[in-house]
């Protein structure tokens, strides 16, 4: 980042970086036709966009995966994931949160983007702002 782009001085030990330099991977999920009922504990579910609130993750906002669909474990939400909505009504696009903890067997939908950072030394809580 050039000096002209820096809006203010940072504290000692901090440095300006572009978001793309801090991201290891980005992926989106899958949106199969699901029941509107939330997945029971132990069952697989797909997150709704309402699971991603400003600075809040709501694991209970999910839809139960039908028994005739196979789960995609690579899409399972994990603690440390940064989630951002990419579709919904205009006022819901671009909402982000950090998943600090979550139950098992919940997958991201194709309306949610997931980021993984390049290092645990980077504050995911700060980036998710």
Structural domains present in the chain: 21-127 (3.90.220)
Secondary structure class of 22 (helix, strand, coil): helix
| 124 has pLDDT over 90 | no
Summarised one tens digit per residue, pLDDT across range 56-97 is 999 999 999 999 999 999 999 999 999 999 987 888 899 999
Q: Report yes or no: 29 and 112 within 8 Å, Cβ to Cβ.
A: yes
Mean pLDDT over all residues of the chain? 93
d(CA 128, CA 85): 12
d(CA 70, CA 31): 12
Residue with tokens 């797909």: 46
For 124, residues 6+ apart whose C-beta sits below 8 A from its C-beta are: 80, 82, 98, 117
**This prediction's pTM:** 0.88
């Amino acid at each position: 980042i050039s000096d002209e782009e820096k809006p203010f001085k940072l504290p000692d030990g901090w440095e300006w970086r572009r978001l793309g330099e801090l991201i290891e991977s980005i992926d989106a999920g899958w949106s199969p036709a699901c029941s509107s009922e939330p997945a029971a504990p132990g069952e697989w579910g797909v997150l709704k966009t309402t699971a991603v609130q400003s600075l809040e993750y709501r694991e209970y906002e999910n839809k139960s995966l039908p028994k005739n669909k196979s789960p995609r474990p690579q899409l399972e939400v994990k603690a440390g994931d940064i989630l951002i909505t990419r579709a919904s009504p205009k006022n819901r696009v671009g909402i982000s949160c950090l998943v600090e903890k979550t139950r098992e067997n919940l997958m991201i939908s194709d309306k949610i983007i997931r980021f993984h950072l390049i290092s645990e030394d980077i504050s995911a809580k700060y980036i998710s702002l």
